[in-house]
Structure formats: C-alpha cells, structure tokens
Amino acid sequence: MNEFDENENRPENLPDETPVEAPQETAPQNDVPESEPPKPTETPEPEPTPEPAPEPKKLPEQPAPVSNEWAYSWDGQSYQKRNSGKGARKFFIIAAICLVVSIAICLPTILYALNSDNRRNPSGNSSVAGGDTSDVQGSSEEDISYEVSHYVDPSDVSYTEESAESQVYEKCAPSCCTVYVTEKNGYSLGSGFVLTADGYIATNQHVVDGGIKFKVIFYDGTEYEAKVVGEDSVRDLAVLRIEAKGLTPLEIGNSANLKPGQHVIAIGTPYDMTLEGTMTMGVISGTERKIKITDDSGRVTKTMTLIQTDTSINPGNSGGPLINMKGQVVGINSLKIVEDYFEGIGFAIPINYAADIFNQLIQYGKVVNEPEDDFVHAAAYLGIQVTNADNGLESLRIKPSCEYPEGAFVATVTPGTAVYAAGLQPYDIITEFCGVKITDITSLTDELANHKAGETVSMTFFRFDRRFASGEYLTIKFVLDSAK
C-alpha cells in the first residue's frame, strides 16, 4: 500500500486521525509519486483473487469527512470509472459537431454537382441506360467536359462615350509628336506639334539645347530625321524641319480670349517613349502671370508673361501644345513649379506671342524684329567685370600721368558678347550709359536694370593711350545681350 503524508493537502479544520496499520496482504496498487497528481490509467487486467485477508481490527469510529474532495485515500480504479461516462459523452458531442460541420461544408458542393448533372442530362436518363456503355467505359477524366455557369457576363449593350475631350484628342493627336534629342552623353525627350504641312515643327528651345542629332516621331510610329532651323533662348522657342509633305498642322487659336475656368488639354510624351501621346486635362488657372526665371545661382535672368494651368505638365511635355475645346492651340507647354508642397501649377507660352516668333525663326533662323509688346522681359547682360576707377588702377599698380574721370573701370570683357564686338576693351573707364552719368559700379548696375535684352543702347567711356599719359572719350552703340 502507498504511503501518503497525512498533512499534505489536509484542511486545517479536520480533526487528527489515528494512524492505521494496513493489513499485510492486499491487492497490488500502482505507485503514485507524492509530487505528481494521480493520472487515470487503463483498467488493469483481472488478476487471480488472493486469499482472503485476515479481518482487520475494528477501528474506532471516525467523524464523517467534511467533503469527498478532501478524501485522503486514492483509488485509481474507482476514479477511472467515475470519469469514463463523462469522457464518452464528450467524445460523442465532438463527433456530432464535426459531422454537422462536414455536412454543412459539403452540402453546397453536392447540390451543385447534382444540378450540373441535371443540366447535362435534362431527360434524367443516364448515358448507360440505353445499354451502350462503351463510351463511358472508354472515356478518361480528361475527356469529361464541364459546363460553367455564367454568374458574371459583360454587358451586351454597346456603349461608347464620346466626350468633348476625347473628340479633341482624336482630332489633334495625329499632329503632335515626340522630339528625340541625341546628346553627347545620352538622349533627352520633348514634345512638339506640326506648324505647316511641309514639315515645320514647333517646340521649346530648352528641348533642343545641347543636342547633336534630332528625330521627330509621330504617335503612329512614323519618324523623321530633323534639323533645327531657328531658336530663341530668351523666349524658349525653337523650330525643327523634317522632310515630309501633306502633314496636318494644328489650328492656331487666340490666347487673348482665354479666361480662368475654361477647359484645356495637353498632349505630349512625359517620362519616356512608352507614354507617348499622353493626354492630360485641366482648366485655365490664370492669364498673364509674371513668372521670374532664375539661373543656377538664383539670379533672375528674365520675367515671362505666361498662361497658368492645372493641367499636368511633366518632364517631356515641354514643347507640346495646350489645346482648347475647339481643338486650337492656345499655348506651348513650357514649365512647372517643382517645389515640395506644390502641385498642379504649370505654365504655357501664349500662342499670340509665340506665333510671330515662329514666323521669324522659319524665315530668318533668329529673331530680327523685337516685338513691341513682348511677353519676355529678359535681364540685360553686358559680359564685363568692372570696379571703381581708382581701385582698378591701384590693383594693377598703374599710375597714369594724366587726369582721368571717375566711373566704372573695365577689368575684363567676355569675347563673343555684343559689347565686345562694339569695341569695349579692358582698362576703359565707362562714364555714360544711355546718356546717364556713371560714377561707379552701383550707378552702372542701376541704369542697366532699366533696360532689357534686345534693346539698342549707347555707352561712352574714357580710353588711355599705351603709356597712360593721355586719353580720349569714345562712344559705341550695340544691342544688349540677355542674361541666360
């Protein structure tokens, strides 16, 4: 018999029990460790009945236990019998639940299969009922065809939306193109459109700038070699020429009639050739916007009067047309604001200004007649480095033996500029600009700001002789260059 610690798991309120010595011969029982709870075991096979044990001594009566829960003796066999009914009930309950779930899952499949059989054989007769089973027996699983029910079908109603925008696109897209520019270290893409039936193509000057070879590619895949016949960097316009006849030019509109809110579309090739012929749509956001253009150093080089639109204009759209709902070009897409927190702010050159420039570029290759009402006010550029007269002479350790005027002392002159071609040289002292007296650098800069690129101006300066012993005043005239 197992020995148990009587004080283990003993309630405090039970009375002490007198230890009892068990009979020496008793039925074998499983050893149960003190530290582990009893586990139900399988019912042992019956063993030979031992000889009757001698009658144990009569024990004194003990008080009734408070609860079965606190019984100290352990009878594994009795425990197993008490719990065997509960285990069976749990098993049958779980089995019943599994059966119900399985039926619920399989029932739709069975019903669908029966329904499919009925559709394949509406008469209800099986293929073997007629006695010929050769087809059934000789068929394989691959030969069985299944009928698929049509739960979702495309509409039988033919509907094609012909919006105003799609009609404009169909009209104008054949006259729009991609401008493919081969550069020294790669290539770039821009957009353009047909100006004339004999092959003049409009685009932006910054699209062709730096290119060594050009192609015009229409959206149907037709491509032509092209050459630049004229360009104007100040107004950012250029004209290409291809050897083609019978092209359809886009109709030119009137940008002076534009009003905010009017619908427009842009057609071009943003990003790369896979997106050629992309159309974006928006409205006129504003007209006659004064936009300042700066160089890499942040210096303002020109101010342009442009059309503002929320039509998406991306890299590659430059040079393409901005088109109204009549299919007329009203602008040339040129730039957009590229800043964080800003979107939908694009700009186009008004066609009313651009038309005259295109005509001059086709005829002369450059702008020969400056428009009186120009849309670009380019900052004037002289291409010289100057300092005050005394400081310049002192830095060069030159001590003239004659009197000289105050003014702007010329240190260098950039070759190729208009003022260089007019005859200005280093060591000259500028004393007048367009009739205004010049006394130092500041006065020259202030007066230059009052003029724009393309204007004809006059300049008076004092020139020393070779020995700086005397000098003379000279006056020149030239056309101001633009600050690019």
Residue 72 main-chain phi, psi, to 5 deg: -90, -25
pLDDT in tens, 328-386: 999 999 987 766 667 789 999 999 999 999 999 999 999 998 888 889 888 888 999 99
The token pair at 269 is: 């090739």
Q: Is the pLDDT of residue 203 over 60?
A: yes
Check residue 256 and report its DSSP letter. G
Mapped onto helix, strand or coil, the DSSP state of residue 311 is: coil
Please state, in angstroms and rounded to a whole number, the distance separating the CA atoms of residues 111 and 55: 72
Q: Which CATH number fits domain 165-377: 2.40.50.100, 3.30.450.40, 3.65.10.10, 2.40.10.120?
A: 2.40.10.120
pLDDT in tens, 12-43: 444 444 444 444 444 444 444 444 454 454 44
State the pLDDT at residue 359.
Answer: 96
Catalytic residues: 206, 236, 318
Angle at 59 between CA 57 and CA 65, to 5 degrees: 145
- The fraction of the chain above a pLDDT of 90, given in percent, is 51
Q: How far apart are the first and last CA of the chain?
A: 111
Q: For the residues 210-235, what does the mean pLDDT come to? A: 95
Q: What residue type is 107 in one-letter code? A: L
Contact 412, 400 (CB under 8 A): no
Residues belonging to the chain: 484
Q: What are the residue ranges spanned by the domains of the chain?
A: 1-86, 165-377, 379-482
Nearest to 427 by CA among 403, 402, 461, 459: 461
Mapped onto helix, strand or coil, the DSSP state of residue 432 is: strand
Q: What number of other Cβ atoms are within 10 A of residue 323's Cβ?
A: 28
Mapped onto helix, strand or coil, the DSSP state of residue 329 is: strand
State the pLDDT at residue 140.
Answer: 52
pLDDT in tens, 130-153: 444 344 444 455 567 777 777 787
Mapped onto helix, strand or coil, the DSSP state of residue 466 is: coil
Q: Which CATH number does 379-482 carry?
A: 2.30.42.10
Partners of 240 in the β-ladder: 201, 228
β-pair type (251-252, 328-336):
parallel
State the pLDDT at residue 125.
Answer: 47
Residue 364 main-chain phi, psi, to 5 deg: -115, -15
Residue with tokens 């342009």: 304
